[in-house]
Amino acid sequence: MSRDKVIQVGVIGAGRIGALHARHLATRVPGAAVVAIADINVAAAQAVADQWRIPVIAADYTELLAHPDIDAVAICSSTDTHARIIQEAAAAGKHIFCEKPIDFDLNKIDQALAAVDSAGVKLQIGFNRRFDANFRRVYELVHAGKMGTPHILRITSRDPAPPPLAYLKVSGGIFLDMTIHDFDMARYLMGSEAEEIYAAGGVMVDPQIGDVGDIDTAVITLRFASGAVGVIDNSRQAVYGYDQRVEVFGSAGMVTVANNTPDSHVYSNVDGVHTAKPLYFFLERYTDSFIAEMSAFIKSIRQDTMPPVTGQDGRVPVVMALAAQKSYQENRPVRLSEIT
Sign, CA torsion 104/99/122/55: positive
Rank residues 269 and 340 by Cβ distance to a copy of itself and give the closer one: 269
Give the footprint of a copy of itself on this chain (CB under 8 A). 27-28, 133-134, 136-138, 141, 146, 149, 151-152, 154, 156, 158, 198, 200-202, 204-205, 217-219, 221, 223, 227-231, 233, 235, 237-241, 243, 249, 251-260, 262-278, 331-333
Least distance CB 244 / a copy of itself (angstroms): 10
CA distances from 2 to 5, 263, 302 (A): 5, 41, 7
Nearest approach in angstroms of CB 277 to a copy of itself is: 5
d(CA 116, CA 118): 6
Nearer to a copy of itself, 201 or 317 (CB): 201
CB of 249 to a copy of itself, least distance (A): 7
**Phi, psi values for residue 264, rounded to 5°:** -105, 20
Smallest distance, a copy of itself to C-beta of residue 100, A: 23
Burial call 301-334: b when 16+ CB within 10 Å, e when fewer: bbeeeebbbbbebbbbbbbbbbbbbbbbeeeeeb
CB atoms within 10 A of CB 203: 15
Q: Which is nearer to a copy of itself, 42 or 141 (CB)?
A: 141
Q: Least Å distance between CB 103 and a copy of itself?
A: 29
- Alpha carbons within 13 angstroms on the beta-carbon side of residue 140 total 8
Comparison of 87 and 244: residue with beta carbon closer to a copy of itself: 244
- Please say which residue, 40 or 258, places its beta carbon nearer to a copy of itself: 258
Using N-to-C axis directions, what is the helix angle for 180-190 and 133-143, rounded to 10°? 30
Least Å distance, CB 228 to a copy of itself, is 7
DSSP 280: S
Report the residue number, 270 or 306, with the smaller CB distance to a copy of itself.
270
The nearer residue to a copy of itself, 55 or 227, going by C-beta atoms, is 227
Give the DSSP letter of residue 260: P
Spatial CA neighbour of 141 closest among 258, 253, 307: 253
Cis omega (within 30 of 0) for bond into 160: no
Minimum distance of a copy of itself from residue 134's CB (angstroms) = 5
Rounded least distance, CB 143 to a copy of itself, Å: 13
72-75/7-12 β-pairing: parallel
| Of residues 62 and 237, the one with the C-beta less far from a copy of itself | 237
- Report the sign of the C-alpha dihedral through residues 134, 137, 142, 147, in that order: negative
- Mapped onto helix, strand or coil, the DSSP state of residue 112 is helix
